[in-house]
Amino acid sequence: EAGVTQFPSHSVIEKGQTVTLRCDPISGHDNLYWYRRVMGKEIKFLLHFVKESKQDESGMPNNRFLAERTGGTYSTLKVQPAELEDSGVYFCASSQVAGAIYEQYFGPGTRLTVT
């Protein structure tokens, strides 16, 4: 069974540009999460989808970030326009059952560098 995959693995963009990160969860997992780790800091929650609905987006830093999960399968996280402080590693995770604490399976992350 394939794990959580993320694309690209690394992206370098200039300030003001747009970047779209993609996450493919484990097949059949309804829950999809985005997290971010800024260098030197802890991994922080961004948002949580249950199927195609946003269950919790309390961690989204501002309206430059837009997450979508059309059809309840893969998800994209768009940053527009990117700022220097958006640099970090963006992790995606998925889990199987909504409304309970089940193991979140993490992808390898996308390293975003904004110059």
Partner 1 sequence: AQSVTQPDIHITVSEGASLELRCNYSYGATPYLFWYVQSPGQGLQLLLKYFSGDTLVQGIKGFEAEFKRSQSSFNLRKPSVHWSDAAEYFCAVAANQAGTALIFGKGTTLSVSS
Long-range contacts made by residues 42-46, C-beta under 8 angstroms, separation at least 24?
Answer: 43/91, 46/77, 46/90
What does 46-104 look like in DSSP terms, one character per residue? Answer: EEEEETTEEEE-TT--STTEEEE-GGGS-EEEEESS--GGG-EEEEEEEES-TTS--PP
Q: Which of 3, 8, 16, 61 binds partner 1 (CB under 8 A)?
A: 3
DSSP strand pairing (31-37 vs 88-95): antiparallel
Q: Which of 35, 90, 112, 114 binds partner 1 (CB under 8 A)?
A: 35
101 is a site residue for partner 1 (CB under 8 A): yes
103 is a site residue for partner 1 (CB under 8 A): yes
Q: Which of 11, 19, 25, 33 binds partner 1 (CB under 8 A)?
A: 33
105 is a site residue for partner 1 (CB under 8 A): yes
Interacting residue ranges for partner 1, rule: CB under 8 A: 3-4, 31, 33, 35, 40-45, 48, 55-56, 58-59, 91, 93, 99-109
